[in-house]
Structure 1
Amino acid sequence: MKIFEAAAPGGTVLDPRRVQHRTVSVLSAAQLLSGVGSGASLSVGSLLAVQLSGSNAWAGSVTTAVTLAAAVAALPLAGLAGRRGRRAALVTGQLAAMAGSLLIILATVTGAFPVLLLGAALLGLGTAANLQARFAAVDLADTGHRGRSLAIVVWSVTIGAVAGPNLIRPGAVVGEALGLPALAGPFVFSTAGLALAALLLVVGLRPDPLLLAARIRAAGAVPAAKGTTGVRRRHALRNGLRAVGASPRARLALLAIVAAHGCMVAVMSMTPLHLQLLSEGSMAGMPAGHAYAASTDVLVLIGFTISLHIAGMFALSPVMGWLTDKAGRRPVIILGHGLILLAVCVAGFGQQQPVLVTAGLVLLGLGWSAATIAASTLLAESVGAEDRVLVQGVADTLMGVAGAVGAGFSGVVISGVGYQGLNLAAAALAAAVLAVAVHAMVRSRSTSQAAAQAG
């Protein structure tokens, strides 16, 4: 690709290639820092919800609030990016999440369950911003490096997100030193991480990649693509769904993304509570000292399990991207939902064994990674350039809705039919999508073979 130079507003000549390199570095570092916040909410959110509400039925409420808020915020943040650039949208999300983390600390101190839910909802704005960051990574990327740039930013969240759940014990120490409840401690770390992420984006994301890309197109250096500079504000969701509905490949991609996310969030959000209940059953009749030691150990187990799950989600994302390019989009979607089906069977039927539950969560993360990366690639390729940004925003919105529904119903499901029943429900959904994807691949190959024979 030919390299063009662009002039900044102050007259400075900019090399888009160098700006792109710096942009990916800044986004990756910000994702790492903000990942601590998401890791903390995943690991202790359900425990705080049960503690403050007094009912296991509310266990999924924190994850529901986070994911629902992310869904609601996806299109508005995309619109803000289109009007004022990526930096404004990403910083807004990080600052909102920081405020949410502070509210969760306040909720643990006061015992106010509504404040906990409000804080979780603000954390959801940070989640929406983190999803948008992967698109910011490709605003200035040339065609041959878009996948790599996106994968680096997605992968970078691994370190912070994996570290977050393992901060339960250190967080408890810090919380007690500050006079806070033990479960508030991890959110002290997440508040600091989100503040640093926002500061890094304010200082480092200059020039703004989306605005610079628009200036380059306006100057004629890169052919403009209609509709790719922002999101149409009126009827955005309806227009996006219409664009998806016009393409069978886009419909399959969106179904795969939404179902994978719903299954993952539903099972993941209830696993900390299940492990805690499992440990309480095994601690019955223990002397007080032994019971306290066991309760401390289960917090470590919860953090370790969620960390491995998040590692499964993000650590191998470059590998999943490579497989998507080499093996094809549909085969990797099938692989992803096959792994999800295997994961929930292992976790559900092995519910009495923490090792099997952990193994199931790792497989669940890997399945989510394969399905999401392959389906996102297929989705982008299956709609016109004029609809691509809009459809990506709609996909993020529906991912959030699926996560919110999964988390919301998971608490009710686990109260009624238990952890195994929850996993079996997820298995049914994964199996249905798997059947649809296999049918689509077989039909596509039959059509290609018939066309080849006719030719």
Structure 2
Amino acid sequence: MTAVVETVRDRARRRAVPVLVGSQVLGGVGVASGIAVGGLLAEQVSGSTALSGLAQTATVLGAAGLAVPLARLAAARGRRPALATGYALGLLGAGLVVLAAVVGSFLLLVTGLLLVGGATASGLQARYAATDAATPQTRGRALSVVVWATTAGAVAGPNLSGVGGSLGRALGLPALAGPFLLSAVSFAAGAAVVGLLLRPDPLLAAGGPVASGARPTVAATLRTVLALPAARLGLVAVMTAHAVMVGVMVMTPVHLGHGGASLQVIGVVISVHIAGMYAASPVMGWLADRAGRVPTIALGVGLLAGSLVVGGLAPADARGWVTLSMLLLGLGWSAALVAGSTLLSESVPAGVRTSAQGTSDLVMGLAGAAAGAVAGPVLATGGYPSVAVAAAVLLVPVVILLGRGARS
């Protein structure tokens, strides 16, 4: 029996990462192509610039709200149905967004964007699926390769906006609805890849829990995570890095605009930031496996702090320094996310692992949404340096936890 189990686990280990990489690219194209025009479509449908920011907020909140239900589905039935369901919800959401653009309903648009967050949630939970059947020595690298695959989608998605617009006009739809047609196709393909090819299921092959009876609530899961020092550090590192990254990233285009930067320059700066977030993730996974999870988290915090110093001191027209700051911001997020997610996943009991992973994504999403919402008033009140200072304050808890770990 042991030999049979090992054979199934080995097959899952070999197949899981390539399949997850494929679904991640497809899902990433769908999410990014929608994000690129979501704010513009929200402004067009609502007739209000003030409401345009709700597009991104709705997607973030949708991803956060669906993280726990999808994690519970994974615990009950495995990763394959959970990930496929997330992409299917994204498909439904993209369809509702197209319908909202046709009928001019802002409420329907927001509902659709909330469901598009299901695809984002599946993309986030795919990184945990990569660790299910991996060995302890390769968990960080397996997780990081799946994160890295997001690079292709994040780069290709926005560049397909023009194609999507042409498609929408050709079909007699509003041009801004076209990219969401491409999103729908991408989400359908992502669900098909996971549903058909993620066999054997990595969570089930690893003997990981198929829940029966009562499942841990979010509150109970949080109590379990916070009671374990390593898991607590992993959760706080992921949450903090995401809040810092979102809070600074969403205000950087505004800051550059105040310095007279063109849309093209702003696009290049954000592209460098995205490259830092995803392209270097395999390096961060290798470091997490070789140097350790905690030192890699410390590296991430150091990179984030360096980014805040460089960006906070740089004037808006010093575009080279701002670009360096955004690169460091992306690299710091990558190191903290990869190492923190790996540390959290392996530090909790098997019975609450999938629940802890879903709760982590919930907390991460809420922290990012809150930071993004607060960053605007902070920028308006004290300028970009104040955003950097506020973000630096967010780093204090994880620095304290790292210090306690070093002393112990």
Contact 1:157/1:314 (<8 A) preserved? yes
CA 1:254–1:142 in 2, change beyond 3 Å: closer, same or farther?
closer
Corresponding residue SS for 1:137? helix
Q: Percent identity?
A: 47
CA distance in 1: counterparts of 2:93 and 2:274, whole angstroms? 21
CA distance in 2: counterparts of 1:177 and 1:251, whole angstroms? 52
CA distance in 2: counterparts of 1:109 and 1:93, whole angstroms? 25
- Which of 355, 359, 373 lines up with 1:394 in the alignment? 359
Residues 111-167 of structure 1, C-alpha deviations (whole Å, 9 max, x = no match): 432222112101111111111112222333333333332222222121112211222
Contact 2:63/2:118 (<8 A) preserved? yes
Contact 2:221/2:352 (<8 A) preserved? yes
Contact 2:32/2:154 (<8 A) preserved? yes
Offset of residue 394 of structure 1: 1.5
Corresponding residue SS for 1:144? coil
CA distance in 1: counterparts of 2:212 and 2:299, whole angstroms? 32
Corresponding residue SS for 2:160? helix
Residues 423-450 of structure 1, C-alpha deviations (whole Å, 9 max, x = no match): 63354233442x4444444444444xxx
1:246 aligns with 2:227: yes
How many residues were matched structurally?
A: 407
After superposition, residues 7-406 of structure 1 pair within 5 angstroms as 15-214=8-207, 228-230=209-211, 234-271=215-252, 298=263, 303-347=267-311, 349-352=314-317, 356-406=321-371
RMSD: 3.2
Q: Which of the two has higher C-alpha Rg?
A: 1
1:417 aligns with 2:398: no
CA distance in 1: counterparts of 2:141 and 2:76, whole angstroms? 27
CA 1:171–1:424 in 2, change beyond 3 Å: closer, same or farther?
farther
Corresponding residue SS for 1:153? helix
Offset of residue 270 of structure 1: 4.6
Residue type of the alignment partner of 1:417: T
Residue type of the alignment partner of 1:364: L
| Aligned residue in 2 for 1:451 | none
CA distance in 2: counterparts of 1:87 and 1:367, whole angstroms? 30
Contact 2:46/2:106 (<8 A) preserved? yes
Corresponding residue SS for 2:3? coil
Offset of residue 398 of structure 1: 0.5
CA 1:240–1:445 in 2, change beyond 3 Å: closer, same or farther?
same
| Aligned residue in 2 for 1:429 | 391
**Could you tell which deviates more after superposition, 361-370 or 338-347?**
338-347
CA distance in 1: counterparts of 2:317 and 2:103, whole angstroms? 35
Residue type of the alignment partner of 1:197: G
Corresponding residue SS for 1:132? helix
CA 1:231–1:63 in 2, change beyond 3 Å: closer, same or farther?
farther
Offset of residue 209 of structure 1: 2.8
Corresponding residue SS for 2:131? coil
Contact 2:298/2:402 (<8 A) preserved? no
CA 1:29–1:209 in 2, change beyond 3 Å: closer, same or farther?
same
Contact 2:277/2:331 (<8 A) preserved? yes
CA distance in 2: counterparts of 1:353 and 1:172, whole angstroms? 34
**Could you tell which deviates more after superposition, 396-405 or 178-187?**
178-187
CA 1:119–1:413 in 2, change beyond 3 Å: closer, same or farther?
farther
CA 1:97–1:77 in 2, change beyond 3 Å: closer, same or farther?
same
**Could you tell which deviates more after superposition, 145-154 or 41-50?**
41-50
Residue type of the alignment partner of 1:85: G
CA distance in 1: counterparts of 2:200 and 2:49, whole angstroms? 48
Residue type of the alignment partner of 2:361: D
CA 1:101–1:301 in 2, change beyond 3 Å: closer, same or farther?
farther
**Could you tell which deviates more after superposition, 365-374 or 54-63?**
54-63
Contact 2:235/2:360 (<8 A) preserved? yes
**Could you tell which deviates more after superposition, 72-81 or 240-249?**
240-249
CA distance in 2: counterparts of 1:253 and 1:303, whole angstroms? 32
CA distance in 2: counterparts of 1:305 and 1:49, whole angstroms? 24
| Aligned residue in 2 for 1:288 | none
Offset of residue 197 of structure 1: 1.0
CA distance in 1: counterparts of 2:13 and 2:283, whole angstroms? 22
The TM-score with structure 2 as length reference comes to 0.86
Residue type of the alignment partner of 2:231: A
Corresponding residue SS for 1:142? coil
Offset of residue 56 of structure 1: 4.5
CA distance in 1: counterparts of 2:10 and 2:258, whole angstroms? 53
CA 1:248–1:211 in 2, change beyond 3 Å: closer, same or farther?
closer
